[in-house]
Amino acid sequence: MRARRAFRTHFNVPRNQPVPSNRAVNTRVANFGVSGSTPKKRGGGQKTVRTPENIDSVREAFERSPRRYAVRHATTLGITPRSVQRILHNDLHYHPYKIQIVRALNTRDYGARVRFCQEMLDLISEDEDLVNNIWMSDEAHFHLSGFVNKENFHYWSQASLHEKPLHSQKVTVWCAMLASGIIEPYFFENEAGNAVTVNADRYVEMLQNFFTPQLPRFPVN
């Protein structure tokens, strides 16, 4: 009662206007003593959309379409994008991984690379001008059905490595360069202009009929 009278006097509340009840005052005092805050606690805990049902829905959606943007999944599921992000990170432990195209290495490849580097270092130490007389060549596969833009491509998953073979139609292009110039690209095609698979015979044929005749254009020092 003393608190209610003090409240009415302090805030100049008219006698015909209500003031907090004794129970409300006691509740505020008890809450302040426990948490340092006066608002009344709501029963049943804080409401959240990260329910088991929503977590399962998000998991199923991303398992079906892991490349789809989280915002689009959120719209389809009727969950806010922020909640979807929290479920992905905090409940499913998913992360958006970028696609990286790398060449697979076998166990024996590591030793072969070390030996090659050591041989090249020995040769260069004997002839410093050697690096200016070495042809560097490589080939690349261009897929005709499209390409992967790894800067805008994310894959939602718990694991960072996903191996997927590419079987789309492609054309192989070869090119070589020297310190003094570049040989134009060579396309592995048949007489009809259709792309062909590169094998040992076709590679040797390219070296003999395309690469070797152009060497006189690039005199060696």
The residue-averaged pLDDT of 213-219 equals: 88
pLDDT value of residue 46: 45
Q: What is the DSSP letter of 12?
A: T
pLDDT value of residue 49: 82
Say whether pLDDT at 180 is over 90. no
Lowest average pLDDT, out of 57-66, 93-102, 155-164, 187-196, goes to 155-164
Q: Would you say how long the chain is, in residues?
A: 221
pLDDT value of residue 205: 94
The residue-averaged pLDDT of 73-80 equals: 90
Task: Indicate the pTM of the whole model.
Answer: 0.41
The pLDDT-based confidence of 39 (bands split at 50, 70, 90) is low
The pLDDT-based confidence of 45 (bands split at 50, 70, 90) is very low
Cα 84 to Cα 55: distance, rounded to the nearest angstrom: 9
The residue-averaged pLDDT of 110-134 equals: 91
Say whether pLDDT at 44 is over 50. no
pLDDT value of residue 143: 72
Q: Are 196 and 170 in contact (CB under 8 A)?
A: no
CA distances to 106, 125, 137 from 182, rounded to whole Å, are 31, 26, 10
The larger pLDDT score, comparing residue 163 to residue 67, is at 67
Which residues in the chain belong to E strands, given as ranges?
A: 95-98, 136-143, 154-157, 170-178, 181-187
Tens digits of residue pLDDT in 5-30: 887 788 888 877 787 788 777 877 77
Say whether pLDDT at 136 is over 70. yes
Q: Where are the domains of the chain?
A: 2-28, 52-93, 133-217
Lowest average pLDDT, out of 111-115, 150-154, 200-204, 216-220, goes to 150-154
